[in-house]
Structure 1
């Protein structure tokens, strides 16, 4: 029987995922890679609960021209592009159409990199345990791109942690990572948002705020002579 559950919000989903990821708590080699925007509140909750580093991995869905809600693929940092089977050609979409959508989404990807990171360089993932996080998965095309981008960065172990996904998508993604943690796999799946009580759009400002808090905490923890992870945040983000 499939696991079916609802979540209050993204923060609760992250806390519940953290309970299933306890083996990574306080490990200096572990890092959460959150997908902006919606994956960042989930990833922030996980990183804070486990006392490990937080970074972002940016990918963009390639929407079908005229039917943008349907993903024909995705692009990620480093120029990685993943296309659904039959694209180009599917629903009359040409290679030129795909290239136009790709160029537009790559421009937005680069804008987000600048907006979220500022001058901060991505973490070196070589030899580390990377936990890839989003607030849920539907078709899996965006996550496939994220997995490929993450793999190219050289982690020793790649874990995918998501609150909810359709059973077939979860099974397909499980074959592409070293471990999958998925809390809910409902067979009657229409959208990620239907499994949350609160599922408002995460803003750029919220992403920037959460990343600034996490990176400030990491810097403070690293500056302490005794070492160890910093498990305290300001009152606004206390988990």
Structure 2
């Protein structure tokens, strides 16, 4: 069985998508041709994965939900993380890094509590506290705007696997070869249009128009999606 699908014409290229919406539409079209699925759920990782997820939901006439994943911040360097936490309370530690940093149980406990609060706030802000759909026995497509280290996606995959889906497919517009290889070993199908195997890798390099999505834009997009019955 083929676990990894890519578009060879986009291999190792940059600036191949106009923006996230263009990337999502092209990803949906590629999947319909090469990896069709029926009645999937789409799990989008905020914030960058939301435009991608909405295009997939449109393309497959599916419903989308948000898979909020946040890093556990290193106390003295909050821009970096030593693990992650998912929307359903699963905690994943980089145990080697925890040992290297000599983090205490209290350091970890405080980071988990802070991250849990942040996740609750983001879910409330973006969805009004809507619940996650039943995953058991479903085909779930997880998406983001790209895979760099891959650890956020890894946490999302493991969190969803705990809900016993029938199948998990990860579909992203762009990704590093190392991260794509890691994730492809965890899921039924890995789809990455723009695979790049050189270093350094940046998700942004795949896009002509790249910027960080702010919360107001995310909320407007989700409000429109809700009116169009694309949100679970």
From 96, 101, 114, the counterpart of 1:104: 114
What is aligned with 2:139? 129
Q: Once superposed, which parts of structure 1, at least 4 consecutive aligned residues long, lie more than 4 Å away?
A: none
Q: How big is the shift at 1:24?
A: 4.0
What is aligned with 2:224? 213
After superposition, the Cα gap between the structure-2 partners of 1:94 and 1:199, relative to the gap in structure 1 and judged at 3 Å, is farther
1:81 aligns with 2:91: yes
TM-score, length of structure 1 as denominator length: 0.82
Gaps of 5+ in 2: 1-7
Please show how residues 1-239 of structure 1 align to structure 2 within 5 Å.
3-5=11-13, 6=15, 7-22=17-32, 23-24=35-36, 27=38, 29-186=39-196, 187-218=198-229
**Which shifted more, 128-137 or 92-101?**
92-101
Number of matched pairs: 217
**What is the rounded CA distance, in whole Å, between the counterparts of 2:116 and 2:124 in structure 1?**
13
Larger relative contact order (CA 8 Å, sep ≥ 6):
2
After superposition, the Cα gap between the structure-2 partners of 1:196 and 1:69, relative to the gap in structure 1 and judged at 3 Å, is farther
Q: Do the aligned residues in 1 keep the contact of 2:68 with 2:119 (CA within 8 Å)?
A: yes
Q: Do the aligned residues in 2 keep the contact of 1:76 with 1:145 (CA within 8 Å)?
A: yes
The superposition leaves residues 111-145 of structure 1 with CA deviations (integer Å, 9 ceiling, x where unpaired) of 01111221532222221111000011211221111
Q: How big is the shift at 1:59?
A: 0.7
Q: How big is the shift at 1:85?
A: 4.2
TM-score, length of structure 2 as denominator length: 0.84
**Which shifted more, 120-129 or 154-163?**
120-129
* CA RMSD in angstroms, aligned pairs only: 2.2
**What is the rounded CA distance, in whole Å, between the counterparts of 2:131 and 2:31 in structure 1?**
26
Q: Do the aligned residues in 2 keep the contact of 1:75 with 1:105 (CA within 8 Å)?
A: yes
Gaps of 5+ in 1: 220-239
**Which shifted more, 163-172 or 66-75?**
66-75
Question: SS where residue 85 of structure 2 aligns?
Answer: strand
Q: Do the aligned residues in 2 keep the contact of 1:165 with 1:185 (CA within 8 Å)?
A: yes
**What is the rounded CA distance, in whole Å, between the counterparts of 1:165 and 1:96 in structure 2?**
35
